[in-house]
Structure 1
Amino acid sequence: MTARWPDPDRTIIDHYLASLRLRSLKSRACYRQVLHGFQDVAERHGVLDQDMLIAWLRVMTECWAATTLLHRTRIVDRFLDHLLRTKAIDRNPVTTLREACNIKQCMPVWRALASRNPEKALAELRRPRPFGSVLGEVLAEHVALMRNRGYKYTSQSARLLRFDQFMQLNPALQEQPIGVMLDHWAAAKSTHNHAAECENLRRVLTKIFRHRDPSIPSRRPDPRPQKEVVMQWRKPHIYSPADVRRMLDVARSYPSPRSPLRPLTVYTMLVLAYCAGLRRGELARLDLADVDLQSGTITVRQTKFFKTRILPLPDSVMAELRAYIKARRSAGASQDPCSGLFWHERGRTRRYTPEMITWLLTNVIRRAGLKPLQGRTGPRVHDLRHSMVVNRILDWYKAGINPQDRLPFLATYLGHRDINSTLVYITVTQDLLHHANERFRAVGAPCLNLEREGGS
C-alpha cells in the first residue's frame, strides 16, 4: 500500500472536484472540507490503512453528528475509488476490508470502524465466502452445471448457499457424514418453510451424489413438509367484475399533478394485468414494439421459464392501448421501438420498475376500498391474475363451454408449461362451485334416471 499520501500539494483534490461538476456552491464547499480534512489526517498518519480510517473518524466525530459523518464517508469512498483508478494509490483500504468481510457494501464497514470496538465489529461483520465449506466445490459445480443447461437456478442456488454458510459457521460438522450435517441443519429452525427447504436440500444432494456415483441408492421424497407449507399460503382474493370496474374508475382519477400521463398509465396497466393476466415483471418489460395494433396482439418476451408468447387481445383492450399510446406520444415519450411501453418522465431507464408497478396498483386497490390503508393484509396485485382465470372459467360455464377442453389454451395464454401450473390459479368460489354443480347435474341426472328405470 502507498506509504505516503500521493497528493502533497492537493492538486488531485482540485482536479477531482472540477471533474464532478458540482452545480451547488454549498456542495463544492462540503466536498472540499471533507476531502481536505481526510487528507490532513492521512498526512499525519503516514499510511493509508485501517488505523488511519479510524483516526479520521475519531477526529470527525467531534465536528459532526454520527449520521452526518456516515453520510460523508460516501464522499471519501468515491475519492478513494478515483485515486485507485488513476493509480495514485495501490489499494483502497475500505474495499479491502469489505472484501475481507465478504460483503457488498462499504457502509457497514464504516459503521464498524466508527464503533467503540472496531475489531470486534469487523469480526461480527465477516460473512463466510460462497461455497467455502467442505461440500462447497461439489455444490458450486452443480450450480454451474444446471446453469449451463439453461436453468436460472437462482432460488435453488440460494438454498445451497445457506446450507454452505451454515457448514462454515459450524466447522465441527464438516467432518461428519452428510446425514448428520442435514440433521443439524434441519434442527437449526423449527418453521415449516425450513423443513420444506431441508427436504428439498436432501433431494438435491442425493441427485448430486448419484450423478457422481450411480451405485448410491435413490431416496424416496417426503411430500409432507411442502404440503404443510402450502396449507399456510395466503389464499388469493378473487376480484369480481364490479371490483375491477371500481379499480379502473379509481385509476382514471389517480392523483398525479406532476405526471399527467400517470393516471392513464396506471389504468392501462390494470387493464392488461386483469384482461391478459400479465405478471408485474411482464408489464415492466413490455416495449413499444411489443404492441401490434394491426393484428391486435402483444408479445410478452422471455418471461418465466424463458418463454415468449404472443397474446391476442379483445377489441376493447386494444382500443384502450391505442388511446394510451396516443397519449404517450403527446406527452413526449420516446418513439423508439425498444423504449418501455409504460414510460415516465424521470429515471435513467424511463420505464416503470416492477416494484413501482406493484406500489401503484396496490395504492389503487387501497383507494378502491378493497384493501386496508396500511399493512400487507388484504388483496394483492397478483390476485388479478388469479381473478382472470376464475372469471374466465365462469364465463365458459355460462356460455355452455366445457372448461376442461379449454385449460391447455388457458395455460399457454398465461405462459405456463402445462395445465398443472394453471390449476393452482383455480380458486373454488361459490359461483364457480354452483356452475360446476349445475353442469354435473345436467350430465349426471339423466344417468341416474336411466339406472332407476332399469332397476324397476
Structure 2
Amino acid sequence: MSRYQGIYASLIEQYIDFKRNLGYKFKDAESVYYLFDQFTILNGETEIGITKELANKWAVKRPNESDSTCYKRVMYLIQFSSFLNDSGYPSYILRLPKAYKSTFTPYIFSREEMKAIFEASDRLKIDNSMDSAVNVIPAILRMLYGTGIRIGEAVSLKVKDVNLTEKYIIIRQSKNGMERMIPFSDSLADVCRQYRNSLQVLQDPEDYFFVKRNGRRCNPKGIYEWFRKVLWEAGISHGGKRQGPRLHDLRHAFSVHSLTAMAESGLDLYYSLPILSEYLGHQSLEATEKYVRLTSEMYPGLIHDVNSICAYAFPEVDLP
C-alpha cells in the first residue's frame, strides 16, 4: 500500500522512481513529498495541477523551521511542478528563494590530535559485554580518517567489500547512490587485520565487516558514543550537542590533510581536486572545492607541516 494518499500519490511515486533510476537515492525528497501529500489532503485538493495559491502557501516558512529546511521544501516542489508540467498537468512554478549558505565551519583535527585519538582508541579496554562495539573503535576510526568515507558507509561495508591483500574497499551504499573503489594504505590494512584476527566469530562474505564481539552489526550512534569517550581520553574538548567535534569531522580532516600531503609532494591543489573528489564520492568538483579553501586559507600551516600521521591517509602510488 502506498504511503501517499492524496491526489498526487501516483505521480509522486512516478517522479521518485524516475529520479532513482537516474541514480539518486532521493531519501530527503521522499520525506518532503510525503509532507506535501499530507498538505494537499489538509487543503482539500481535488484537481491535479499545482496552483499559485497552493504553492505560495507551501512556501511560507514554518515556526522554528530553519532557512535550509524551508529552501529544500520549496526546491523539491519546484522540481515536482516542472515534472507535472512535462507530464501534461499545468502547474505553477515558484521562484526559488535566495540560496541558503551555511556559516558552519567543520572542525579540522590537527595531526597531533589525530595521533592522540589513535592512541586513546588503542587504550580502550575490552569490557564484558558481548554487545559492545569497543573492539571496533581503533580500526573504524582509522578507516574513517584513512579513506574519508562516511560513518554510514563504513558500517555498511561487507566482508566482501574490504580487500586487505590488495588494499582497497568498495563502497556500494553511498549518499549519492554511486559505487566507488577506494585504495588505502599499508598501515590501515595492518590495523584492519589486527581487528579481524581479534574476532571470535565466523563470517561469510555477505556479513558486515565491522561487527561487535557477538558478531552483530555496528550502528553509527554507538560508534559516535565511543568516539566521545575517545575524545575525552585524548584531551580534546567537546562543545556539546551540535557543536562538535563530530565523527563526520574525521572526513573533513582526511580531506584537508590529504590535500596538504599532495601539495607537499609538489602537486597543485586544484590538480588534486579530481583525486580527492573521487575518494569522497562527490558528484561535482564544486562540492570538493571547499577543502581547498579550508586548506589554503583557514589552515595554511598544514601545507608546510605534515608528518607520518598522514600515512593513514593516501597510500603511496608510483606515478608514471
TM-score under structure 2 normalisation?
Answer: 0.80
Contact map agreement 2:170 2:179 (CA 8 A) in 1: yes
Which 10-residue stretch deviates more, 235-244 or 151-160? 151-160
Measure, in 2, the Cα distance between the counterparts of 1:436 and 1:203. 43
Match status 1:131 vs 2:1:
no
Match status 1:243 vs 2:113:
yes
Q: Which residue of 2 aligns with 1:125?
A: none
| From 21, 25, 43, the counterpart of 1:152 | 25
User: Over residues 299-355 of structure 1, what are the superposed CA-to-partner deviations in whole Å (9 max), with x where a residue is unaligned?
Assistant: 322323332322222222222122222222xxx122423222222233xx6121233
Measure, in 2, the Cα distance between the counterparts of 1:361 and 1:239. 14
| From 229, 236, 259, the counterpart of 1:370 | 236
More helix by share: 1
Tell which structure's C-alpha radius of gyration is larger: 1
Cα distance change on mapping 1:411 and 1:194 into 2, 3 Å: closer
Deviation at 1:374, TM superposition (A): 5.0
Q: Which amino acid aligns with 1:238?
A: I
Q: Which residue of 2 aligns with 1:52?
A: none
Measure, in 2, the Cα distance between the counterparts of 1:435 and 1:291. 30
Deviation at 1:206, TM superposition (A): 2.7
Deviation at 1:267, TM superposition (A): 0.6
Match status 1:357 vs 2:223:
yes
Q: Which amino acid aligns with 2:158?
A: D
Contact map agreement 2:135 2:212 (CA 8 A) in 1: no
- Identity, in percent, stands at 24
Q: Which amino acid aligns with 2:188?
A: V
Q: Which residue of 2 aligns with 1:288?
A: 159
Cα distance change on mapping 1:409 and 1:374 into 2, 3 Å: closer
Cα distance change on mapping 1:435 and 1:400 into 2, 3 Å: farther
Stretches of structure 1 that go unaligned for 5 or more consecutive residues are 1-98, 100-128, 438-456
Q: Which residue of 1 aligns with 2:281?
A: 415
Cα distance change on mapping 1:201 and 1:287 into 2, 3 Å: closer
- SS of 2:207's partner is coil
Contact map agreement 2:257 2:302 (CA 8 A) in 1: no
Cα distance change on mapping 1:132 and 1:411 into 2, 3 Å: same
Stretches of structure 2 that go unaligned for 5 or more consecutive residues are 305-320
User: Over residues 194-234 of structure 1, what are the superposed CA-to-partner deviations in whole Å (9 max), with x where a residue is unaligned?
Assistant: 430343134213312221239x699685351x32xx335x3
Q: Which residue of 2 aligns with 1:267?
A: 138
Contact map agreement 1:278 1:414 (CA 8 A) in 2: yes
Contact map agreement 2:139 2:195 (CA 8 A) in 1: yes
Aligned pair count reads 299
Q: Which has the higher contact order (CA 8 A, sep 6+)?
A: 2
Q: Which amino acid aligns with 1:155?
A: D
Contact map agreement 1:288 1:336 (CA 8 A) in 2: yes
Deviation at 1:266, TM superposition (A): 0.4
TM-score under structure 1 normalisation?
Answer: 0.58
User: Over residues 73-126 of structure 1, what are the superposed CA-to-partner deviations in whole Å (9 max), with x where a residue is unaligned?
Assistant: xxxxxxxxxxxxxxxxxxxxxxxxxx9xxxxxxxxxxxxxxxxxxxxxxxxxxx
Measure, in 1, the Cα distance between the counterparts of 2:263 and 2:300. 11
- SS of 1:306's partner is coil
Cα distance change on mapping 1:194 and 1:336 into 2, 3 Å: closer
CA RMSD between the two structures: 3.2
Match status 1:337 vs 2:205:
yes
Measure, in 2, the Cα distance between the counterparts of 1:186 and 1:291. 45
Contact map agreement 1:276 1:313 (CA 8 A) in 2: yes
Deviation at 1:240, TM superposition (A): 0.6
Which 10-residue stretch deviates more, 249-258 or 145-154? 145-154
- SS of 2:238's partner is coil
